[in-house]
Structures are given as structure tokens and as C-alpha cells.
């Protein structure tokens, strides 16, 4: 057990810090009301990162990455969070490509798939979205019904997907379809790459409770996808999807975990600025106690992230313990922003101006215990796959 970063890691950290200081964009990311502008902004930034060698830090060299350790990737995220730069995690349009589709292709794709897609993910020229959930298949993902019928050397897709972030600005989609309706439900699923420009795709944006529309419904009407775009084998999509989800729950949110530390710092500042009953909020015992608890928890979140990286450095696929960190993160992020709303009091009722960002974050955080598996699903994974408890009969 050690928490020492090697001299080489330290040098790497200094390089990252210096580069970010010199190259970070000075302009704000466009509002998500204009998704095309977001795409332009996020992909241009990704291209800049790629050109400077900061894309795919922990991806294998054969896949276009730097082939460095997860520790180096962590260092990058830590420095990234400390610098004032555009969103690095799930808020970027590049997130699904970098955190889901890319790692899945690396783990399960053939060489031609890797050659076709990975370079474009890394340099930001291709944006990916996810097509997993459906109206009838949420937590019970394996019950998905979007059909993929084989017709010659194509799959013909009919059905509907839901919660697809950035669908209308994406180039490709990681799509789960039912290719064998007669097989047991986990066995008839295929993971396929869908080109979003294929005829027959209709996209309808959905407004979320924060008032923004970055996610969509996607409808498929006789959408033809070459069978060559199947990843991990026909009817073997559940296994491929599980590797996608293990990345999602294991390593995709490292950036967000690291950034949460800064949210608590903001809350502490707010607790010193805001006055309640003639005193700074922080001078009230109950508020101080809660804030101390939240600070302890973000410190622990960092320790858990380190523990998770220590575990994942020794294995190809993140294990089910990823759900522990995901669940801890989700609950904590919600309590931090809720704490901020309480400090704001009536000021939190104004969704513009000084506190707009805090209110938006508060509203957005409701998704944290739903996206990437609800908190209930995460608990079931922990119960069954980490603790070995029996499944319900």
C-alpha cells in the first residue's frame, strides 16, 4: 500500500498542469440550448487535446492511445478539475465515445472496427451516443424489444430508444437490438454500431427537469446496418453491453468524482457568505456539522477513487465494485447540491443570474441516481455480485 506518485508521474503532472495553464480555452462552453454549437466547441477542444497527446492517455498504444497507466489518467483528471476548463466528464459530447464505446471496442471489437472508429473518437471527429434504454426496458435492460432482423448482409432495425444524450448531433450510436426473439432474453441481443445518418432514423429531443434538451428519443424505421458493424458477435450483445456498463460504472466517472471536491469548496464559500438569522450560515452548529460531514465524504470519495484505480490497474474490465463508488458518488453529489439549495433559501427560487449554475446543478443531480443504472440497480449489483446474496426467485 502506498500513495506515492513516482517521479515520472510527478513530471507528467507538471506537464499537464503547465499545458492546461497555457492552452485552456478562455471562452465559455455554449449553452446546451444550442447543441450544434456545443458539438463544435467540445470536438474542437477534443482535437486540441488529441494534437497535444492528451487523448486516450490510458488506452493501449495499438489503439491510438498513449498506453499509460490509469494513475496517469487520474492525474490528468485531477489537474483538469483544478484548472478552469470546459467540462471533461459526461457533460461533453465526446463522453460516450471516450468512456463507453471506445473502451468497449478495445475490449470486444475486431481490428477493423478499432481502425475504423477509435482514431475518430480520440481526435473528436466522431461523436457517439448510446442506444440502450427503451420505453419498456429501463432497469430491466435485457427485456429490450427493438428488433434487428437479418436481411442478407444487413440488420434491419425497427423500434425505439430512449435517454440518448446528444443523439441529434452524434455520428454513431452504440445500439442494442434483439436479433433472436426466441432465445432466452439475455441471449438474443446484439451490440451494433449504428451510423446516425442512415435513412429511417427520427430523433425527438426530450426536455429534462433542468429545462434542457440534451437527451432524446430515437425511432428506427427499417434502418439498415451492415452486419460487419456488429461488435462481439451476433446474439452475444449482452456480454458486450456488460463490458460497456462496467466501464461506465467503473472508470467513466473518475472525472466527475474528482470534480465533486470543487463543488464542496463552493458550498463552503457560500456557507460563509450567506447569512441566516444575522450570522454567517457556517456559524450555525447544525450547518457546520453537515458541511464537515460533506467534506469528509468528498475526501473519502477521492480515497475510494484511488482504491478503485488500484483495483482496476490489475484487471482488463472494471469489476462490480465500481457500483459501490458510483452509488456513493451519486448520493453524495445530490446531498451537496441540496445543501447549497438550502443555503440559498428564497434565492434558490430564481433560475437566472448569480445562482443559476448552482440551481441547474441541483436540478441536474436528480439524474445521478438514475443514469448509468438507478441507485436501486446499483444496490442489487453490489448485493448479488460483490456480496454474493441470492437473486430473487
Report the residue from 101, 156, 225, 327 that binds another protein according to the rule CB under 8 A: 327
User: 79, 76, 102, 93: which is closest to 42 by C-alpha?
Assistant: 93
Instruction: Establish if 335 lies at the interface with another protein (CB under 8 A).
Output: no
Size of the site for another protein (CB under 8 A): 51
Instruction: Establish if 1 lies at the interface with another protein (CB under 8 A).
Output: yes
Q: Following CA atoms 147, 120, 42, 203 in sequence, which dihedral angle do they give, to the nearest 10 degrees?
A: -20
User: 283, 344, 372: which is closest to 95 by C-alpha?
Assistant: 372
Instruction: Establish if 312 lies at the interface with another protein (CB under 8 A).
Output: no
How many CB atoms within 10 Å of residue 48? 16
- What minimum distance in Å lies between the beta carbon of 338 and another protein? 18
Pull the grid cell for residue 122: 480520440
- What minimum distance in Å lies between the beta carbon of 84 and another protein? 20
- What minimum distance in Å lies between the beta carbon of 80 and another protein? 17
Closest CB to another protein among 248 and 321? 321
Closest CB to another protein among 14 and 221? 14
- What minimum distance in Å lies between the beta carbon of 75 and another protein? 9
Closest CB to another protein among 52 and 288? 288
Closest CB to another protein among 78 and 168? 78
Instruction: Establish if 78 lies at the interface with another protein (CB under 8 A).
Output: no
Determine contact, residues 17/79, Cβ cutoff 8 Å: yes
Closest CB to another protein among 50 and 329? 329
Binding mask 8-47 for another protein (x = CB under 8 A): -x--------------------------------------
β-pair type (128-131, 172-178): parallel
Instruction: Establish if 289 lies at the interface with another protein (CB under 8 A).
Output: yes
- Cα 35 to Cα 254: distance, rounded to the nearest angstrom: 24
Residues 250-269 that bind another protein (CB under 8 A): 268
Determine contact, residues 107/245, Cβ cutoff 8 Å: no
Q: Following CA atoms 222, 140, 168, 237 in sequence, which dihedral angle do they give, to the nearest 10 degrees?
A: -60
Partner residues linked to 174 by β-bridges:
130, 193
Helices 285-312 & 70-82, crossing angle to 10 degrees?
A: 150
Instruction: Establish if 7 lies at the interface with another protein (CB under 8 A).
Output: no
- Cα 211 to Cα 215: distance, rounded to the nearest angstrom: 11
Query: Footprint of another protein on this chain (CB under 8 A)?
Result: 1-5, 9, 71, 74, 268, 282, 288-289, 291-293, 295-297, 299-304, 306-307, 309-311, 313-314, 321, 324-325, 327-328, 376, 378-380, 382-384, 386-393
Amino acid at each position: 500500500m502506498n500513495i506515492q506518485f513516482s517521479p515520472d508521474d510527478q513530471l507528467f503532472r507538471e506537464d499537464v498542469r503547465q499545458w492546461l495553464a497555457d492552452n485552456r480555452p478562455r471562452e465559455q462552453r455554449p449553452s446546451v440550448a444550442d447543441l450544434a454549437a456545443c458539438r463544435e466547441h467540445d470536438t474542437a477542444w477534443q482535437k486540441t487535446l488529441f494534437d497535444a497527446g492528451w487523448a486516450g492517455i490510458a488506452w493501449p498504444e495499438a489503439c491510438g492511445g498513449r498506453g499509460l497507466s490509469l494513475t496517469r489518467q487520474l492525474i490528468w483528471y485531477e489537474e483538469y478539475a483544478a484548472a478552469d476548463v470546459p467540462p471533461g466528464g459526461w457533460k461533453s459530447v465526446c463522453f460516450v465515445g471516450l468512456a463507453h464505446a471506445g473502451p468497449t471496442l478495445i475490449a470486444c471489437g475486431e481490428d477493423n472496427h478499432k481502425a475504423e472508429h477509435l482514431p475518430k473518437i480520440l481526435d473528436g471527429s466522431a461523436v457517439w451516443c448510446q442506444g440502450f434504454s427503451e420505453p419498456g426496458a429501463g432497469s430491466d435492460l435485457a427485456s429490450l424489444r427493438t428488433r434487428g432482423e437479418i436481411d442478407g448482409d444487413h440488420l434491419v432495425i425497427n423500434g425505439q430508444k430512449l435517454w440518448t444524450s446528444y443523439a441529434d448531433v452524434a455520428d454513431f450510436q452504440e445500439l442494442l437490438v434483439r436479433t433472436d426473439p426466441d432465445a432466452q432474453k439475455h441471449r438474443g441481443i446484439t451490440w451494433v454500431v449504428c451510423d446516425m445518418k442512415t435513412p429511417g432514423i427520427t430523433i425527438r429531443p426530450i426536455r429534462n427537469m433542468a429545462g434542457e434538451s440534451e437527451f432524446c428519443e430515437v425511432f428506427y424505421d427499417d434502418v439498415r446496418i451492415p452486419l460487419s458493424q456488429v461488435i462481439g458477435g451476433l446474439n452475444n450483445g449482452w456480454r458486450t453491453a456488460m463490458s460497456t456498463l462496467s466501464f461506465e460504472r467503473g472508470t467513466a466517472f473518475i472525472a466527475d468524482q474528482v470534480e465533486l471536491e470543487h463543488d464542496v469548496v463552493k458550498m463552503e464559500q457560500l456557507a460563509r457568505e450567506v447569512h441566516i438569522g444575522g450570522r454567517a450560515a457556517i456559524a450555525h452548529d447544525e450547518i457546520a456539522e453537515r458541511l464537515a460531514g460533506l467534506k469528509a465524504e468528498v475526501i473519502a470519495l477521492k480515497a475510494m477513487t484511488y482504491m478503485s484505480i488500484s483495483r482496476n490497474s490489475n484487471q482488463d474490465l472494471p469489476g462490480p465494485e465500481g457500483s459501490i463508488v458510483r452509488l456513493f458518488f451519486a448520493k453524495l453529489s445530490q446531498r451537496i447540491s441540496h445543501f447549497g439549495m438550502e443555503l440559498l433559501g428564497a434565492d434558490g427560487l430564481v433560475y437566472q443570474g448569480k445562482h443559476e449554475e448552482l440551481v441547474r446543478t441541483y436540478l441536474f443531480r436528480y439524474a445521478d441516481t438514475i443514469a448509468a443504472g438507478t441507485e436501486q440497480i446499483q444496490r442489487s449489483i453490489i448485493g448479488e455480485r460483490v456480496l454474493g446474496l441470492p437473486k430473487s426467485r
